[in-house]
């Protein structure tokens, strides 16, 4: 059996074992930052919903279950149509929705109609959507006070 002589009585290997570099990463600050970002996004996400200010009618109908990415069409008091927060013509509306949904006609579309708007205008929008294959159209109302 052969022994290697380090020249200093084996002290160097004992020193190297005690003072080795740490190869572990401390993830606690990373987790703290991620939790703070999560809380910030949870608080700000509901505030990011875009819409046109309108006066919704009241209804006692039950709420529909939410889907992942609701698309909303808003009809204001003057009868103008908004896709999310951008004003569109009635003729452009279906083409734009088709591009957004990538021909997925089963996705839900929410229609917000101001209670001061002509009922015929709201039905014109819903009829156009239904006539182009969008059968999951829901009207949005406020709960009764």
Q: Which of 61-70, 77-86, 113-122 comes out lowest in average pLDDT?
A: 61-70
Total number of domains constituting the chain: 2
Q: How far apart are CA 113 and CA 6, in angstroms?
A: 87
Give the CATH number, domain containing residue 118: 3.30.420.270
Q: How far is CA 138 from CA 16, 61, 64, 115, in A?
A: 71, 12, 8, 16
**Range with the lowest mean pLDDT among 24-28, 64-68, 100-104, 139-143?**
64-68
126 within some domain: yes
Domain ranges, residue 77: 51-140
Got the DSSP string for 59-127? --PPPPPP-SS-EEEEE-TT--EEETTEEE-HHHHHHHHHHHHTT-TTS-EEEEE-TTS-HHHHHHHHH
Tell me if 101 is assigned to some domain: yes
- Check whether 43 has a pLDDT greater than 80: yes
For 100, other C-beta atoms within 10 Å of its C-beta total 14
pLDDT(47) > 70: no
Q: Where does the pLDDT of residue 26 fall: very low under 50, low under 70, confident under 90, or very high at 90 and above?
A: confident
């Amino acid at each position: 059996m052969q022994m290697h002589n380090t020249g200093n009585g084996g002290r160097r290997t004992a020193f190297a074992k005690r003072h080795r570099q740490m190869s572990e990463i401390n993830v606690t600050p990373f987790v703290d930052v991620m939790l703070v970002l999560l809380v910030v996004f949870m608080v700000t996400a509901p505030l990011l919903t875009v819409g046109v200010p309108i006066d919704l009618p009241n209804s006692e109908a039950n709420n529909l279950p939410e889907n992942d990415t609701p698309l909303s069409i808003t009809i204001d008091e003057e009868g103008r149509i908004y896709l999310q927060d951008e004003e569109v013509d009635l003729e452009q509306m279906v083409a734009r929705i088709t591009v957004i949904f990538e021909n997925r006609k089963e996705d839900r579309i929410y229609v917000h109609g101001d209670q001061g708007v002509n009922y015929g205008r709201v039905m014109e929008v819903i009829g156009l959507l239904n006539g182009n294959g969008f059968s999951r159209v829901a009207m949005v109302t406020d709960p009764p006070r």
